Structure formats: structure tokens, C-alpha cells
Structure 1
Amino acid sequence: MEEKIKEIIMEALCVNEDEISDNVTFDELGADSLNIIEIVSMIEDEFEIEIEFEEFSAIETYGQMVSVLQDKLAA
């Protein structure tokens, strides 16, 4: 799952895998609000889940995104 999330982020933001770590913020990766919406949409499609606005608006780092997705997929 984490590799697929990285692939989605790399595609949406045109960044390299080595730029993505648990503590890197989406701001640091150069993402704006439209990029975040694109990433969330791609993740929802890939994993067939729905991420509420309150959930994704609170996500600031790659690690937080992985954690939220692990919780959703485990439910």
C-alpha cells in the first residue's frame, strides 16, 4: 500500500521517491490545495475508499496519509 501511495504522489507532484519520507510535508513537496485534492481522488479510486474532507484537510505529511489509509482499510 505504501508503495502505491508513493507512486500516486510521485505522479501528481512530479517528485522522486527519495524525496518522500514519513515526516515530509506536502508543502515541502511543492503541493498546493489542488494537488492534494488530486492525490486524494487518485487514492480513493485506487483503494476504493472515501476520505472525508475533515480527514484529508488534517493530513500534512506522507506519514499521516499512510496512517489514515491504514485505519480506513482496516475498518
Structure 2
Amino acid sequence: MDRASVATRFKDVLDREFLVDISRISDTTTFEELGLDSLDMLTLVEAVQEEFQLKQSVSRFSEVETIRLIGRAIDIIVDITK
């Protein structure tokens, strides 16, 4: 899956789960800037696992909980879905 597709779907998840204005999101946006806290991150991990059907690589994506930048989270998903 290419990075642009992953980015679009990831932003859609953020919008669907947290009603985030996706026009505010860039690779350097932090989850904190979007108002997401640690509990929100758990919800995000679950939503992304479902969106991208991540079963075998769940532990790898759980790194997102400690990642601050949206762009890095997208890169991890691209890597997992290769």
C-alpha cells in the first residue's frame, strides 16, 4: 500500500474517531496538537488495527502510543502493510 493511500485512510480514522479537522493534519502534526491523550491513543490503535486489518503486526503498531508525529505513525503503517 502506498504512503498516500495510508495517509488518507489514517486521517479518515482520526476524523471518524475524534472529529479532527483533517485539513489541520500534516506529517509534523503531533497527536497532542490534535488534543489526543493516552486513552485516545489506545482508541486510535484499535481503530487503525481494524481499518488496516493489522493482526500479525499488532505489537509493531502499538509503538504509535509513544510516537508524537503523525508522519511517523503513517510510516509505521506503510511498513507493516508491505
Report how many residues are paired. 74
Cα distance in 1 for partners of 2:66, 2:42 equals 13
Is 1:24 matched with 2:29? yes
**Correspondence 1:1-75 to 2 at 5 A:** 1-49=6-54, 50-52=57-59, 55-74=63-82
Identity %: 28
Q: CA RMSD in A?
A: 1.6
Which piece of structure 1 moves more, 12-21 or 45-54? Answer: 45-54
* Structure 1: runs of 5+ lacking an equivalent: none
* Structure 2: runs of 5+ lacking an equivalent: 1-5
Q: TM-score, normalised by structure 1?
A: 0.86
Q: TM-score, normalised by structure 2?
A: 0.80
